Each structure stands twice: as structure tokens, then as C-alpha cells.
Amino acid sequence: MAAGRAKTDGAMDIKMFDVDGQLLRVGIRHGNSNRPPLMMFNGIGANLELAAPFMAALEDTTGIIFDVPGVGGSPNPIFPYRPSTLARLGKRLGEILGHDRLDISGVSWGGGLAQQFAFQYPSVCRKLILAATAPGVTMVPGAPSVLSKMASPKRYTDPGYMRSIAAEIYGGDFRKDPTLINRHASAMKGASQYGYFLQLFAMSGWTSLPWLWMLRQPTLIMAGTDDPLVPVINARMLNTMIARSRLELLDDGHLFLVTKPKQSAEMIEAFLRE
């Protein structure tokens, strides 16, 4: 494990951890709450720095996020993985950090991992937050032109390309404020092409729909009303299938955690305090 400097201003303390033979680059936002920490699974191709505004906006919650293997600063895995593999890595990372209970959140692609974690480790996951996500291959998709742009790793390897398509694929505030696009693009470190392929492969054929009704964690489902990638109907589907869930809609697009970090953090922490 590489040492890192402790942060006291809401910024993340970033270190490398060896988790059962897989090196993971981990960001920890230190809080002072006695609640379980919030572990976040990021979107496809996204490095942990993209979650920094949200983590900094948390008031007293400890936040944990890691680059999945092949993304950001985490090296490629030896073998391809499935959502169950990453759920196990997340659980083991929590144990290494001294936590046997976690609140779990997931954004977009990472929302599938969050659902898998809650199902796979019901005694570890206390509460569940699903943001801009869907139940896997059974989702109602966005427009084909939007999905084709999302499927390419070029948006994470070429900041100029990202700037050119961000408003179309993310919607919401990205349509109105060009500075948001520049800020988002400058924080990207991205995935290798192999790492991006592994993330696409991991979710191929995966769906949570057969067992969503079995989830018993209190669940907050968040969705943007102008989300070209994951239309709101997917959030309504999750809300219908998960027994102890509620749905909150935000007047924004796919990346409301990035564009509205303070509002999102306040909503999530209010839910965690209940």
C-alpha cells in the first residue's frame, strides 16, 4: 500500500491498495459521521477524480471510490471480470479499510455493480443509492445515435471529442453551460481500450430484473429528467421492482452528480441519516 497525505478539506486521500492480488487506486473522502462509509461505483470509463466535486460536497459522510481494473490508475486485471467479481473486490476493500458495513451507491454503469453488491452481500450493504442507472440489458435504451457515441472509449481518451459530444450524450446542464464540459474533460484520465472493453464485456448479458424484488435495503433512486443515455422510465422500473425504494427526479441530465454536486450530496446524506 502506498502512503498518501491525509486530507482535511473534503478532498480525497488517494492511495494504492492490493486487494487479493489486484492493485486498486482508491480515493477516500474522510468524514466524521459514525454511519457506515459510502462506497461509490463510478460510470463506465470514469476515473475517480470525476467524482471529486460530489465527494467534496459531502458534509460528514466518509466516501470511498476506486478505479476499476483497467481504468484510471488501476492496472489491467489478469482475467476478465463480471459484476460479481467487482462486488467481491469492493467488499474486500471495505474489510481492508476496517468496515464490515457499507452504504453502497452506483452511477450509470456503476449502478449495476451497486445492485449486484446489494444482492450479493445483503448483510454488508445497509442502504443503496442508484443514480442515472438501469437494470442491465433489460433497460429501456436511449437513442441509437447517443448509445453509439457512449460505447466508444474515444470520449475518455480524446478530451476534444468529449467536448464535442458531451451536450448530446449527457443532456441537462451540459446543454446550457460549456464550462461544465471543459471542467469534466480536464478531470478525465480515462480507461485503456482494453479496460473499456472489459467494462462493456462485464455487463454483457447481465440483468438484475429477476431478483430486484428480493432487495430489502432502503433504496434511493435518482434520475435526471433530461437523460439521453438512461431515460427516466428505467428509474421508474427500478422503483417499481425494489420494495423499499423511493424515486427522486432532478431537473438535469445524466451526470447530475457532476453538475449538481451540492444538491445531490444533500439529498443523499439526508437519505443516509434517516
32-53: pLDDT as tens digits: 999 999 999 999 988 999 999 9
Q: Give me the torsion for CA of 72, 78, 80, 81, rounded to 10°.
A: -70
Q: Give me the torsion for CA of 216, 133, 14, 49, rounded to 10°.
A: -160
Any domain includes 6: no
Any domain includes 238: yes
Q: What is the pLDDT of residues 115-127, one digit of tens each?
A: 999 999 999 999 9
Q: Domain total for the chain?
A: 1
Measuring CA to CA, which residue among 75, 50, 85 is closest to residue 65?
A: 50
State the pLDDT confidence band at 194, using cuts at 50, 70 and 90.
confident
Q: What is the pLDDT of residue 190?
A: 64
State the pLDDT confidence band at 6, using cuts at 50, 70 and 90.
very low
Question: Average pLDDT over the chain, rounded to whole?
Answer: 90
- 18: domain CATH number is 3.40.50.1820
Average confidence (pLDDT) over 57-86? 95
Any domain includes 3: no
Any domain includes 5: no
Any domain includes 73: yes
Q: What is the pLDDT of residues 105-155, one digit of tens each?
A: 999 999 999 999 999 999 999 999 999 999 998 888 777 777 777 666 676
Q: What is the extent of the structural domain holding 76?
A: 13-273
Any domain includes 1: no
Cα(36)–Cα(61) distance, integer angstroms? 8
Alpha helices in 40-102 (DSSP H): 52-57, 83-96
Cα(40)–Cα(27) distance, integer angstroms? 10
Write out the catalytic residue numbers.
108
Any domain includes 8: no
Q: Determine what percent of the chain is predicted with pLDDT higher than 90.
A: 72
Measuring CA to CA, which residue among 80, 104, 102 is closest to residue 199?
A: 80
